[in-house]
A and B are shown apart, each in its own frame.
Chain A
């Protein structure tokens, strides 16, 4: 029997290692089902602040969008200056929702923006979703082509993602530029309801750059 420097046999060591493998595997498995991780920082591509929920199989990131970016985007899609201004002043974020589970994972991830809650100044509010805007554009007689771009530009109100699926789209919180808020993100994973709170999200401020005084 070969003894190690700690006085145990190689067989003892092997048995111990197998036990620990089992324990480690259980711990790794638990780690994958742990509570959501909330990240924040500066989005590398947009160079603007982001807030992100990451949990087993799910990733949802909100990236600030400057009102000027929104004005430019929607004017170029055919909206009037007044209509573009309305959207730009409504707190717009770029949103990326992904099912990041491996292909072997059959979980379908679903969400419905109607279930998400915006907490602002002690009040609970809902997001302003595609259907709310559709009513508004009809009343304001926005051009059809512009309405079409708007509809497809927003993150879907309800969506179901299988492994590898994702959407990018605009989410609109109907708040003034610069407003801080918390957001309850809600989704269902194989039918089970899950949620996470993003704290201290801030609508992008409306920056007006004036020419420098001579």
Chain B
């Protein structure tokens, strides 16, 4: 019996293989993107108390890449990405890349409770009255901004990411090169 469909099926297989192969060669993980901001802007400065009792001022980190995350303990994707932020923090120790996570609208006690379940060693800052989040173009939580060493916000990620993903870390490290 002749099978006129056979070349077609082979064609479909080959086309699928080409599409998948191209995607694999590109090495992308569709969820791990760091979109550039169409209009970069100077990062609004702030001073906030951390859950560790210390005071942090954003402009003190000038000369470093700052990953500035807005989150809340009740927000599921915020919780999901927190361990990857900690792993990223461990990976970039001594590289002039800083992670800061600003909790929005919650008490120090609630954030402290959270760290019992999700221990992190990078600063968790407290925007208890929501004044700082209003200075940034945040529409939903979590939202993370990447600030270059000159203090310019150049990337925004809406929703969680796997921050220790090598593609993302490579993008951050690239910002340190003159």
Contacts and interface: CB of A to CB of B under 8 A. Distances in A.
A156 B141 CA distance: 9
B159 A20 contact: no
A101 B30 contact: yes
A178 interface: no
Contacts of A22: 11
A159 B137 CA distance: 11
A13 B11 CA distance: 11
Given A19-B7, A145-B105, A165-B157, 15 more contacts: A19-B11, A22-B11, A24-B12, A101-B30, A102-B26, A104-B26, A148-B130, A149-B105, A149-B106, A152-B72, A153-B75, A155-B140, A164-B32, A168-B76, A168-B140
B109 interface: no
A152 B11 contact: no
Interface of B: 2-3, 7-8, 10-12, 14-16, 18-19, 23, 26, 28, 30-35, 72, 74-77, 104-106, 128-130, 139-141, 157-161
A100 B30 contact: yes
A17 to B, nearest CB: 5
B3 to A, nearest CB: 8
B158 A161 contact: yes
A168 B77 contact: yes
Nearest to B80: A168
19 contacts: A16-B7, A21-B14, A21-B18, A24-B14, A24-B15, A25-B18, A145-B106, A145-B128, A148-B130, A152-B75, A155-B140, A159-B139, A162-B33, A164-B33, A164-B34, A166-B77, A166-B158, A167-B158, A168-B76
A168 B157 CA distance: 14
B140 A159 contact: yes
Nearest to B11: A20
A205 to B, nearest CB: 23
A104 B23 CA distance: 10
Interface string A98-114: 10111110000000000
Interface in A70-124: 73, 77, 98, 100-104
Contact of A158 (B32, B33, B139): B139
A16 B8 CA distance: 8
Contacts of A48: none
A169 interface: yes
Nearest to B26: A104
